[in-house]
Structure 1
Amino acid sequence: MNKQAQAVVMLLFGGAIVRASLTDMYLRYVKESLRPFLIAAGLVLIAAAVMTLVHEVLRPKERAEEHDHGHDHGDGKPHREPWVAWLLILPVLGLLLVAPPALGSYAAGQSGTALSSQQISDYPPLPPGDPAKISVLDYASRAVFDKGVSLGDRTVRLTGFIASGPNGEPILARIILSCCAADGRPIKLGMSGNAPAGLANDSWVEVIGRYTDRTITDPVNEETIPYIEVETWTQIDPPKQQYE
């Protein structure tokens, strides 16, 4: 692969990053706050690719002959770059042509719940309104580490996707990110009461319910999975931001 081909690959890669960053596609890979950095990185790649192409086009013809006849390594024989280098274009094409879904029920089933028994229990009052709209992580943390004290008898509204629980029953889950999808970890909630039924894994639902002290152990990492007593639920479209 000569320098011109390398520049084209870099141009495509930079363009793919900018394209993903200007749409909601980037939210499947990284946190929303990283968008400006993705755009900047894509623009830098595009600028570097354009500068390389301009340099290659303008340089003297005799220096460009090595791209047509191969490189001489001192043995009098021309040598070309290995064809395997062209495999570098595959991830670029994947990013341009394929849009893999955000992490979902499969990832949740392969990883233990992200709640750790070492966290500190110190929670502010729930937001005003009834039901109070909070995250799955917030509810799970309050249920496990605060024993539901800060939840009291309030009703809460949670949004997540359906996954298979330890006993095969449906659970409510949400993936949390520290940086990007590579470090995604699931938060899992069991559901009792009027729990959703008949939905496929990765179906998104909004549930309204109350705290219950029921728990179960996650067989993946033996951490605690709390429950929520579901009063009502509604199937919804996947949200724009699928990670917490």
Structure 2
Amino acid sequence: MRRYGGPFLLLLIGVAVLRVTLFGDLYLRYVQAGLRPYLIASGAALILLALTTAALRPAHTHSHGGSRLAWLLTLPALALLLFPPPALGSYSADREAARRAAQGVGTFPALPAGDPVTLTVAEYGSRAVYDSGRSLKGRTVRLTGFVTRDDDGTWYVTRLVVSCCAADATTAKAEIRGTPAPPTDTWVTITGTWHPKGTLGSPTAWPPVLNAKTVTRVPEPTNPYEKP
């Protein structure tokens, strides 16, 4: 069986990739939806390569080091197949350095009519910190995200913003005031009003603040990440 270590590993990874892309939405924990066709093609290519390699491999070989390594690498592949990791959560958000795209202060487009207006957490943060037109003033907004907390009890509604895949995730969050914090990592939908803070466009305006009116627990969405 040693001579099949490499092909078996390729087969296992290919099956794992197809499992998370073809049979549900697990792949959305790792990449944006638009990359699904490429994942499917990659998984199929790995399976084909595994079968071809196994069929062409000679029956006898005297080099077993590569095979031993291949068998060791089956453990993380099996873990991906059997126990897919959860979406990134508060652990990742808490360790996000203050990486935010440089934005100049300016006027943002008008918000849609009607309250509450649904915004992503990133959109709310951009308007709260950089909008010289103060488009959030007097409006009720609705945000959905998961709960993160500071050691002093301050809590936030948080989302991870993903451009391509989970490896490039950055954090968007809004401090919530006026209501007790649900447990960390709980998904919630919050309605509330903007609470001005700090100097527009400066670090003192970050993170933005929302005075909560309602906090409702909700299931984790199929795609837990926001787009930039």
With normalisation by structure 2, the TM-score equals: 0.87
Measured in 2, the distance between the counterparts of 1:240 and 1:215 equals 35
Local SS of the residue matching 1:214: coil
Measured in 1, the distance between the counterparts of 2:127 and 2:112 equals 13
Local SS of the residue matching 2:59: helix
The equivalent of 2:19 in structure 1 is 19
1:11-53 C-alpha deviation (Å, 9 max, x unpaired): 1110100110121111111112211111111111111112222
Measured in 2, the distance between the counterparts of 1:158 and 1:13 equals 37
Change (3 A) 1:44 1:160: same
Counterpart contact for 1:148–1:213, Cα < 8 Å: no
Measured in 2, the distance between the counterparts of 1:213 and 1:222 equals 11
Local SS of the residue matching 1:64: coil
Local SS of the residue matching 1:225: coil
Pick one of 198, 213, 219 that aligns with 2:196: 213
Question: Superposition pairs for residues 30-45 of structure 1, below 5 Å?
Answer: 30-45=31-46
For 2:35, the aligned partner's letter is L
Change (3 A) 1:132 1:13: same
Higher strand share goes to which structure? 1
1:197-239 C-alpha deviation (Å, 9 max, x unpaired): 25210001100111120259xxxx9882110121111111111
Local SS of the residue matching 1:149: coil
1:168 and 2:153 correspond = yes
Give 1:95 deviation, angstroms.
Answer: 0.5
Structure number with larger C-alpha Rg: 1
Give percent identity, aligned residues only: 40
Measured in 2, the distance between the counterparts of 1:202 and 1:104 equals 6
Give 1:175 deviation, angstroms.
Answer: 0.5
Change (3 A) 1:163 1:215: farther
The equivalent of 2:50 in structure 1 is 49
Query: 151-160 or 81-90: which moved more?
Result: 81-90
The equivalent of 1:104 in structure 2 is 89
Structure 2 residues not aligned, in runs of 5+: none
Give 1:124 deviation, angstroms.
Answer: 1.7
Give 1:4 deviation, angstroms.
Answer: 2.6
1:10 and 2:10 correspond = yes
In the comparison of the two structures, how many residue pairs are matched? 221
The equivalent of 1:76 in structure 2 is none
For 1:102, the aligned partner's letter is A
For 1:233, the aligned partner's letter is V
Measured in 2, the distance between the counterparts of 1:84 and 1:183 equals 29
The equivalent of 1:156 in structure 2 is 141
Measured in 1, the distance between the counterparts of 2:75 and 2:40 equals 21
The equivalent of 1:74 in structure 2 is none
Counterpart contact for 1:156–1:209, Cα < 8 Å: yes
Local SS of the residue matching 1:18: helix
Give 1:191 deviation, angstroms.
Answer: 1.2
Measured in 1, the distance between the counterparts of 2:209 and 2:81 equals 40
Local SS of the residue matching 2:156: strand
1:32-85 C-alpha deviation (Å, 9 max, x unpaired): 2211111111111111112222323xxxxxx5222xxx24xxxxxxxx325334
Counterpart contact for 1:119–1:145, Cα < 8 Å: yes
With normalisation by structure 1, the TM-score equals: 0.81
RMSD: 2.4
